[in-house]
Chains A and B, each alone.
Chain A
Amino acid sequence: EANEPLISYLDLEYFGQISIGTPPQNFTVVFDTGSSNLWVPSIYCVSKACAAHNQFQPVQSSTYQAVGTPFSIEYGTGSLTGIIGSDQVVIEGLTVSNQQFAESVSEPGKAFLDVSFDGILGLAYPSLAVDGVTPVFDNMMAQNLVELPMFSFYLGKNPESPLGGEVIFGGFDPSRFMGTLNWVPVTQQGYWQIQLDNIQLNGTVVFCMNGCQAIVDTGTSLITGPTKDIKKLQNYIGATPVDGEYAVDCNNLGMMPDVTFTINGVPYTLAAQAYTLTDKYAGTAFCSSGFQGLDIAPPAGPFWILGDVFIRQFYSVFDRGNNRVGLAPAV
């Protein structure tokens, strides 16, 4: 049995390009540190969601090899099923040979119909991989395609900026962050899981008083925590239910508390402007809370998820060589 990937596809915003096969077939994927498989829609997929996206055609690839293992991932609105195949995967000039990946033949619900990505490229540890497939980054390391066994994420803060974000394989870019990286040990090698010391509001410890676990997850857009804590947190920041989601008054951002995650003795502070999502709705500004309740059941959970809302503010380096996460304020 494999763990489910944590993917809040409703809020995903950052996407990259990869290609699979010879000649290359292009796909838009989410680079997701919360799962470990690569999957894309198959040409044999019968779901409407597949028809709306790029589909992999194995017969068109001279380097494709069938594997045939059944593949399944459960989502709340259904299940994604498919089979495993093997081919070369190219990511920005890096050619990963003999990469096993899932070709989905059935995709869940109507939600995937409208999403901007074709598939997911998981960057978590091999223990999370469905069917025991070797993850892409593990093959990159094994095939000596990266100088250092690490990758890093920069997620742009400005939605209008031409550079949405950047993943770097093989190291990190000091020009993307301020100061030096603070390294945090990985506590469990599945997700990129770390220890939180506590969570403060305006300097007062309110949650996670005796420490708790968190994962750094680029496949989750918001910051999630146990529902009982998040309900209180929404109350503290003044978020109220509006049309099915928690909203805050955009005029109150200056008065809302800072939220600080203390990690390995270092404070990581998010101002209200960082943990709220500002958008326009019906011609006016609409601010929604960047926090969301999500209970992860034992034995994997409970844990908090530091998603894009956190990573936008803190450049994140994922170091497989030393099993640690590096964090520093993003520029």
Chain B
Amino acid sequence: SLKRVTLVRQRSLRKVMRDHGQFSHFCKAHKLDMIEYTEDCNVFK
């Protein structure tokens, strides 16, 4: 009676961007500061 839903696991967007050397650009574009956790990090809400 259990309904199983299979989940696939894929590379995260962060990893994909990192692969292409784009993650730091993305952070700058969105004013993300993963180090100092400024209020701009609200993107993760």
Contacts and interface: CB of A to CB of B under 8 A. Distances in A.
A159 B14 contact: no
Contact of B9 (A8, A17, A159): A159
A71 interface: no
A13 B2 contact: no
Contacts of B13: 9-12, 111, 114-116
Contacts of B1: 147, 170-171
Given A244-B27, A246-B34, A11 B14 contact: yes
Interface string A10-37: 1111111100000000000001000000
A6 B45 contact: yes
Residue of B13, B43, B44 with highest tally of chain A CB at under 10 A = B44
Interface residues on B, range: 35 or more
Interface residues on A, range: 35 or more
Interface in B1-20: 1-19
Contacts of A292: 34, 44
B15 A168 contact: no
B39 to A, nearest CB: 9
B11 A13 contact: yes
Contacts of A170: 1-3
A293 B27 contact: no
A302 interface: no
B31 to A, nearest CB: 9
